[in-house]
């Protein structure tokens, strides 16, 4: 598709490489600012980590990667682009998260803080004090955390948050009396795929749990692809152009443009820009480390998962681990480059919350994944099924079809998830603070600059990091527009 919007010189104002949520957000921001924009995507379909597909049966929709979107729901970028007017609708269950321990026991974090209090019993007070936030605090936290790290805008809130966030999950959870509450928190903290004994390993738990009892943990109606589709609609309405099946391997593959935005991994960026990147920046990029991967299994089911406890039917996000040790041991093993002996699961059954994905035959859809060493080609499908069967006896009988995607295959499916690392970079303390490198000016940090004039990195390898929120693309576009206009 050629566009009439190219400049007189035949150049695009901006070429965006990659159509994940960050690339599409950057492209939409630039197009709405009046720039001619071309998006080039290696895959045959757009969306990167927000793609959905009919894996087994026509009309039955499975999310290929991202499934649950607490940060998407509160994203200032998605709000500014008014994705609702481009068709995005959220389905928000009343339980943000349910942790299933075994056949009988489960514990939930509800949208209603009173219901969460009731569920947590003796730990309710500590949970509210240490984890809970109200709508105002959530707004400030989002404003602070979903942007490049710099001088805080809300210093008091950040001092409070920072003190807790810097603790390891092991230490942080000592505040709770019940093993179940500690395990509940550990499951959320372990989304970052770091050992629970690591400094700042409580940070992801605190950030993800902040919206849990305010805006909730929603899924996108129709599948995560609806997020990409809404971004595409926004981009096309502003005159942008997308080409799929166009992998950019080197600089010469790029069409002429005034600016380039790379929704790629750091490895991909270095391959494309090569020697153009100044040595100082290149050295920082070479220090970049990838984290462990994930092994995922998708299910087509004849019936919902036969949980014995009613709670999991009220959520889109289920964690499965018998106790704290199961999560802690698995994360330590994976950090050492070993497969977990007892993997713990992140899982979901989206058709319970969004029946529009079920197809005409009224099927059910479920998924689960566990953490594994980076690049692992091991199929842990049987272990994951066994874990689900342990908590929901009879689960095997409702499986119509299943498909395992190993960490290695996840990396092949989307080049940003190097070795199956869904964060496109380890969530170590260093890489959380310097994502992907420290900015010289803390008053105006710009982690998107590559040192090559007019070239910006805008993927989740930049601040504020992983997850579907579009904020890396948003800020990269803001910096790019400022560089053209001389102001932000």
* Contacting positions for ligand FAD (CB under 6 A): 17-23, 40-43, 48-50, 65-69, 71, 247-248, 263-264, 268, 294, 296, 369, 410, 414-417, 422, 459-460, 466-468, 472
Q: 123: which 2 tokens?
A: 């730990």
Cβ at position 220, least distance to ligand FAD in Å: 10
Cβ at position 94, least distance to ligand FAD in Å: 19
**Distance of alpha carbon 165 from alpha carbon 143, whole angstroms:** 16
In the complex with ligand FAD, the residue whose CB is nearer, 198 or 224, is 224
Residue nearest ligand FAD, CB atom distance: 20
In the complex with ligand FAD, the residue whose CB is nearer, 130 or 190, is 190
Cα diameter, the chain: 68
In the complex with ligand FAD, the residue whose CB is nearer, 113 or 467, is 467
Cβ at position 52, least distance to ligand FAD in Å: 12
Cβ at position 298, least distance to ligand FAD in Å: 10
Q: Are 103 and 306 in contact (CB under 8 A)?
A: no
In the complex with ligand FAD, the residue whose CB is nearer, 431 or 460, is 460
Site of tokens 């995560």: 224
In the complex with ligand FAD, the residue whose CB is nearer, 185 or 367, is 367
Burial of 284 (0-12, 13-18, 19+ CB in 10 A): middle
In the complex with ligand FAD, the residue whose CB is nearer, 130 or 257, is 257
Q: 368: which 2 tokens?
A: 């689960």
Cβ at position 371, least distance to ligand FAD in Å: 11
Dihedral over Cα of 331, 104, 97, 458: its sign: positive
Phi, psi of 368 (to 5 degrees): -155, 150
Return the bridge partners of 214, or none.
none
Cβ at position 364, least distance to ligand FAD in Å: 18
Closest Cα partner for 304 from 314, 294, 289, 292?
A: 314
Burial of 486 (0-12, 13-18, 19+ CB in 10 A): exposed
In the complex with ligand FAD, the residue whose CB is nearer, 16 or 200, is 16
Q: Are 432 and 259 in contact (CB under 8 A)?
A: no
Cβ at position 365, least distance to ligand FAD in Å: 14
In the complex with ligand FAD, the residue whose CB is nearer, 48 or 445, is 48
Compute the residue count for the chain.
488
Q: Which residues of 448-466 are buried (b: 16+ CB within 10 A; e: fewer)?
A: bbbbbeebbbbbbbbbbbb
In the complex with ligand FAD, the residue whose CB is nearer, 66 or 173, is 66
Dihedral over Cα of 369, 373, 379, 385: its sign: negative
**Distance of alpha carbon 190 from alpha carbon 417, whole angstroms:** 18
Cβ at position 178, least distance to ligand FAD in Å: 27
Cα angle value 315/320/324 (rounded, 5°): 125
Cβ at position 5, least distance to ligand FAD in Å: 21
Site of tokens 């009613």: 310
Cβ at position 108, least distance to ligand FAD in Å: 18
In the complex with ligand FAD, the residue whose CB is nearer, 399 or 458, is 458
Rg (CA), the chain: 22
Return the bridge partners of 297, or none.
368, 404
Q: 305: which 2 tokens?
A: 């998962």
DSSP assigned state of 255? P
In the complex with ligand FAD, the residue whose CB is nearer, 130 or 142, is 142
**Distance of alpha carbon 414 from alpha carbon 18, whole angstroms:** 10
Cβ at position 208, least distance to ligand FAD in Å: 9
């Amino acid at each position: 598709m050629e566009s009439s919007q190219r400049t007189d010189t035949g150049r695009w104002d901006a070429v965006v490489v990659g159509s994940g949520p960050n690339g599409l957000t950057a492209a939409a921001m630039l197009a709405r600012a009046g720039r001619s924009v071309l998006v080039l995507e290696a895959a045959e379909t757009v969306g990167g980590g927000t793609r959905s597909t009919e894996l087994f049966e026509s009309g039955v929709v499975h999310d290929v990667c991202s499934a649950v979107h607490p940060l998407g729901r509160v994203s200032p970028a998605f709000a500014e682009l008014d994705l609702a007017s481009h068709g995005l609708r959220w389905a928000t269950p009343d339980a943000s998260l349910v942790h299933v321990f075994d056949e009988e026991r489960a514990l939930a974090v509800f949208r209603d803080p009173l219901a969460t209090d009731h569920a947590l019993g003796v730990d309710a007070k500590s949970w509210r004090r240490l984890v809970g936030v109200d709508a105002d605090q959530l707004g400030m936290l989002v404003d602070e955390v979903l942007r490049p790290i710099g001088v805080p805008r809300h210093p008091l809130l950040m001092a409070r948050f920072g003190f807790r966030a810097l603790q390891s999950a092991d230490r942080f959870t000592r505040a709770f009396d019940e093993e179940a509450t500690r395990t509940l928190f550990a499951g959320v903290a372990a989304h970052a795929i770091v050992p629970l004994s690591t400094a700042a390993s409580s940070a992801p738990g605190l950030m993800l749990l902040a919206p849990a009892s305010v805006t909730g943990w929603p899924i996108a109606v129709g599948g995560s692809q609806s997020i990409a589709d809404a971004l595409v609609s926004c981009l096309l309405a502003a005159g942008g152009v997308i080409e799929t099946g166009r992998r950019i391997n080197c600089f010469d593959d790029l069409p002429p443009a005034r600016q380039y935005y790379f929704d790629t991994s750091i490895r991909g960026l270095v391959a494309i820009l090569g020697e153009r990147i100044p040595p100082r920046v290149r050295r920082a990029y070479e220090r970049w480390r990838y984290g462990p991967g994930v092994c995922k299994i998708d299910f087509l089911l004849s019936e919902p998962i036969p949980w014995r406890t009613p709670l999991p039917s009220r959520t889109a996000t289920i964690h499965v681990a018998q106790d704290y040790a199961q999560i802690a041991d698995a994360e330590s093993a994976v950090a050492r480059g070993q497969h977990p002996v007892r993997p713990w699961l992140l899982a979901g059954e989206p058709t319970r919350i969004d029946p529009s994905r079920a197809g005409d035959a009224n099927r059910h859809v479920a998924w689960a994944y566990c953490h594994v060493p980076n690049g692992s080609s091991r199929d842990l499908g049987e272990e994951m099924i066994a874990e689900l069967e342990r908590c929901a006896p009879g689960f095997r009988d409702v499986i119509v079809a299943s498909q395992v995607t190993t960490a290695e295959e996840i990396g092949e499916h989307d080049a940003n998830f190097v070795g199956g690392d869904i964060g496109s970079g380890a969530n170590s303390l260093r890489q959380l603070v310097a994502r992907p490198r420290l900015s010289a000016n803390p008053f105006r940090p710009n982690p998107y600059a590559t040192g090559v004039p007019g070239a910006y990195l805008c993927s989740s390898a930049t601040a504020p990091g992983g997850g579907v929120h579009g904020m890396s693309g948003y800020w990269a576009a803001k910096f790019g527009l400022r560089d053209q206009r001389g102001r932000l």
